[in-house]
Amino acid sequence: MYAQAASSFTTVRDLLRFAVSRFNQAGLTYGHGTDNAHDEAAYLILTTLKLPIDRLEPYLDARLLPTEVKDVVDLIERRAEEKVPVAYLTHEAWQGEFSFYVDERVLVPRSFIYELLGEPLQPWIEHPELVHRALDLCTGSGCLAIQLAHHYPDAEIDAVDISLDALEVAAINVQNYGLEEQIQLIHSDLCEGLEEPYDLIIANPPYVDAESVDALPQEYLHEPEIALGSGEDGLDATREILRRAPDLLTEHGVLLVEIGHNREMLEECFPNLPFMWMETASGDGFVFLLTRDDLIKGLELDEAAE
């Protein structure tokens, strides 16, 4: 089927129809940048052909070279048959207006935190220049560290990950954005070895519970497991971050952490922490904010209640 397509198709329209049909037939799972077969196919085709990803219509009837058709069909086959996320096939992922290099050494960027940097944090960080030092825990591809640098251009930024493979990918992105002087990449297990206090700490740690990891669709199994699961209830990394954060925040420092669908479990574990749940495009239960004062007081009450 794929060989026949590669030898007979001539236009983007041909490829788009074929890709949508194959993706629907394969019963793919989406969630790495698109949520349906048509958008997934359009993105794959346009990116592979080095065309603008937001302008499909003008190119639908453009005639392609046989080599171009083959390149696209090969990727359609891998997406449908191997269920590899498109971002790993194109080595590109987007967050907002930012494009990042990615491969299977890192998660495909999809954190909600990027929506909250800058203006949404003004109630707690009135001016960008008040962020002198910032920390991105579990940086992965470095996508959030790079967006920190965009919103807080005067800040020194540390980007930490336990995976040397991930830090290699992050280094590519930091270099692509010319931020080698502003972003320091650090190999560490969460907060280990960090001492200097930060005005802002963000973290998108592993937070999938063990049961959910076992049930993940095949697409997600292409991602590094170390970046997905975090203990039986998915909160092992978050507990460690909460425990260490008071010592790593400045007097008026702010902590911003993504925890997925674990809000109820987290609030049960830390009943005295006044979590501020931030509004994102997907809802208000996925990312929490705490100030240093809130952390210290809440953790002390939780310890006293034990």
Which residues of the chain are under the pLDDT cut of 50? none
At 129 the pLDDT is 96
Return d(Cα 20, Cα 289) in angstroms, integer: 40
Question: In this structure, are strands 98-100 and 93-95 parallel, antiparallel, or unpaired?
Answer: antiparallel
Closest to 163 in 3D by CA, of 109, 230, 92, 105: 105
At 213 the pLDDT is 80
Q: Which residues pair with 187 in a beta bridge?
A: 161
- Domain 1-90 sits in CATH at 1.10.8
At 306 the pLDDT is 64
Name the CATH superfamily for 106-304.
Vaccinia Virus protein VP39 (3.40.50.150)
Domain coordinates of the chain in residue numbers? 1-90, 106-304
Condensed to tens digits (0 to 9), the pLDDT of residues 288-306 reads: 999 999 999 898 887 776 6
Read off the tokens for 157: 């930024």
Q: Which residues pair with 200 in a beta bridge?
A: 134, 254
What pTM, to 2 d.p., does this model score? Answer: 0.93
At 226 the pLDDT is 87
**DSSP string computed for 114-179:** GGGSSGGGTTT--SGGG-SEEEEES-TTSHHHHHHHHH-TT-EEEEEES-HHHHHHHHHHHHHTT-
Q: Which amino acid is it at 54?
A: D
At 214 the pLDDT is 82
Neighbours of 240 (CB within 10 A): 17
At 256 the pLDDT is 98
